[in-house]
Structure 1
Amino acid sequence: MRRDFETQQRTFPTSKVESFLGNPGVRRGSPIFPSSVEPYPEENFESYLFRVAERNGVPTIPEVMQALHLPPRRTYAPNEHEEICFRLDYRLRNLVPIEPVPSQHKAMFAGQWIRVKHLTTFATRLCPQCLAEDGYGRIGWKLVPLPVCDRHGTYLVDSCLCSPNRTINIRRPCYSECECGMDLRSIASYRASAEARSLASLVIGRLLKQPVGDADHTLTGLASIPREISCTELLDIIVVLGCMDPKTGKLGPRYGSPPSELKSNIAQFERAAQILANWPESLLPSVRVLIAPTAFKALSWSDPSDRHDKTRRYLDSALFKWIADAQSRVLQENIRWMLQSLGAELVRGQACSH
């Protein structure tokens, strides 16, 4: 059933809300808005704040955030979370994106630990089809390395036609409408590859702890690791494999975190999906450079753990071992071919030097 919150009846006139927010007698820790809003299942925090503003006649969500003393950040500390709950609605405890954060590196999101770097701030990313069908935003859109809608198999969008190089502004009049007046539900979205669609389904399945579906069968790389792998570990794998240089085989992550730009996320997600779909043969570029000619024109062996030191620190030890074991297996199966290929390149190089 479609929930179009833009057409919901406002319960209080704007003037009354403005006078309420400006009342110095409002006690900190008490509800700050006259009309409460119940979170929808799996709704993200940005979408929820837009509905709070709509229901209470507040022009924009920056004004809601200012009234809550709420900075636009990825996560909130336990005391901030408690304050937000009291000043909005006690039911906000069920809105998982703002659960307490006892660590600066990981946050409780959808009932499990997720790296803070994997979560967006108030940068809008959405699926136009989901928004048209449901009328609100989903928590999966807040995962930085996930740029694909698992339901429709299309890439998320983060800009309007009025300004393609600028992200959608949170100062827009409502969640589904741009500042320019365009309906964001009408923006065209593009189909992701079959491999990317399968990987997106797996990520959301891990996030919401749903039963494993048939999507696993199209990504052979995930069949060799435990099915109980957590969502944040799966996102770690996507970041690492998505950053793999196709020429040198050097693994990511670059600077230890995924890029925030949606375009870069799409490219990395597709690369990771293709690697996982053709596992472990897809690791040949990373294995091939383990054996390389030295300055003395001899073939030498390079330990993969030395070359991928950042990856070792970033990934869980079991996951790093999973990649290293796959590399060793591919190396054993292709050692003769790689030596012949590198030998031929060495001969060609010597011939060119004369």
Structure 2
Amino acid sequence: MLYKSAEHIDQQLIVLKEKNEARELAAMHRMHAANEVPAPPTINLLIKTKLFPWESLESLLFRVSTLNHLSGISILQRALKLPDNGVMSIQRHLQLGVALGHELKTLSPTIPTLMSKSTIRLQGHLLPVKHLAISSYRVCPHCVEEIGYGKSYWSLAPFSVCEIHKCMLIDSCAACEKPLTATRPAYDRCSCGARYSKMSSTDCSEALHEMSSIIAAKFTRQPITYSGHFYPDEVLSMELLDVLELLAFLAALSEDPGTTYLDLNRKVVSLKLCHRRCKKATSALLDWPNGFHRLLASTRSFRSYNETAATVYNSISHVIGAIPAGTQRKWCRFILSGVESFLNNRKSWSHSSY
């Protein structure tokens, strides 16, 4: 009797062991299925073209589509199942290399590549997503007419003025007001038939032109050749990310702490809004630190009778709180020096031109 009981227990143990092994095997298959990335479709276009210096991926796709007699790039995007937001994963580099006929070392830098949830790599720069307008399109009418392609750094959020032609970029058709999209038939043509290269563009101030020249030079890692000298030497010596962070910080400042916080963290892609924000930020950098003092005076959350440096400090505490704590970034030290000079200059506390 004891023998039969022991035999029954052994059988139960075997069944239990088999069940456990089956569960482990099923879990392993589920894990592999979850991590398995389906291979993206591959297309090898018949006619290839070279990549121009600092050309954007959007511009390259349009040129290749035209050479292969495709109506726009939307067909190519659907065939390759490219993401709508314009940001690629690293796995997409080989797929695009095969389709466009380029080596990865040449093509990869021009592909906006998602490195984390909040950062994108473009032309060797690791940038926060909020500084890039990847999902929208911009062109300089004069550049399109003269050289026939677009630049990667046009997608930088504060870059709203062409550094070559001193005019505003456009992100919509002047004829039908339709935004530039991937569904347009050609890089230089709207779906209504109008050509962007024939549209007029708005001239801009020397200060905004110089800022665009600074951004373009830092993006392409070239010496700054513009000689207007509207901005402090500290700004000219900053890295690209510092300049972008500085402009975004100055543009976001307001007397409402909540609005300041939201503006610091939201992604801005509308060209008109980007231009307005850049104009505000560059105005604060002109005649440094007086321009910054005027901006600070306009952002004070309250004013009191018989003010002291302490009460003024409290009225701009939301501005100081927006500066990353314990950071060694050059733009942060630059702003803190401006705040210090503001607190030491009583005449600046109530003077504002914003």
Q: TM-score, normalised by structure 1?
A: 0.77
The structural deviation recorded for 1:234 is 0.9
Distance 1:84 1:31 in 2: 8
How many percent of aligned residue pairs carry the same amino acid? 22
Q: Pick one of 161, 170, 173 that aligns with 2:182.
A: 170
Q: Which residue of 2 aligns with 1:200?
A: 212
Distance 1:268 1:316 in 2: 25
Distance 2:167 2:327 in 1: 28
1:163 counterpart letter in structure 2: C
Name the SS for the 2:121 alignment partner: strand
The structural deviation recorded for 1:207 is 0.1
Name the SS for the 2:339 alignment partner: helix
The structural deviation recorded for 1:103 is 2.4
Q: Which residue of 2 aligns with 1:14?
A: none
The structural deviation recorded for 1:100 is 4.2
Q: Which residue of 2 aligns with 1:15?
A: none
1:130 counterpart letter in structure 2: C
Q: Pick one of 98, 105, 123 that aligns with 2:136.
A: 123
> How does 1:198-277 map onto structure 2 within 5 Å?
198-215=210-227, 217-220=229-232, 223-225=233-235, 227=237, 229-245=238-254, 254-277=263-286
- Asked whether the 8 Å contact 1:153–1:191 carries over to 2, the reply is yes
> How does 1:53-64 map onto structure 2 within 5 Å?
53-64=65-76
1:145 counterpart letter in structure 2: P
Q: Which residue of 2 aligns with 1:278?
A: 287
Name the SS for the 1:196 alignment partner: helix
Distance 1:73 1:315, change over 3 A: farther
The structural deviation recorded for 1:116 is 2.1
1:156 aligns with 2:169: yes
The structural deviation recorded for 1:35 is 2.0
Distance 1:328 1:123 in 2: 39
Q: Which residue of 2 aligns with 1:111?
A: 124
Distance 2:56 2:208 in 1: 22
Describe the superposition over 1:191-249 as per-residue Cα deviations: whole angstroms up to 9, x where unpaired. Answer: 111100000000000000001224472212xx13571x22122111111112333899x
Describe the superposition over 1:31-85 as per-residue Cα deviations: whole angstroms up to 9, x where unpaired. Answer: 5212222211111111111111111122221110111121122421211223222
2:223 counterpart letter in structure 1: P
Distance 1:135 1:263 in 2: 24
Structure 2 residue runs without a partner (length 5+): 1-38
Structure 1 residue runs without a partner (length 5+): 1-26, 343-354
Q: Which residue of 2 aligns with 1:142?
A: 155
Name the SS for the 2:91 alignment partner: helix
- Asked whether the 8 Å contact 1:256–1:314 carries over to 2, the reply is no
The structural deviation recorded for 1:327 is 1.5
1:72 aligns with 2:81: no
- Asked whether the 8 Å contact 1:101–1:107 carries over to 2, the reply is yes
CA RMSD of superposed structures (Å): 3.0
Describe the superposition over 1:10-49 as per-residue Cα deviations: whole angstroms up to 9, x where unpaired. Answer: xxxxxxxxxxxxxxxxx96755212222211111111111
Distance 1:91 1:103 in 2: 24
- Asked whether the 8 Å contact 2:285–2:292 carries over to 1, the reply is no
Distance 1:315 1:203, change over 3 A: farther
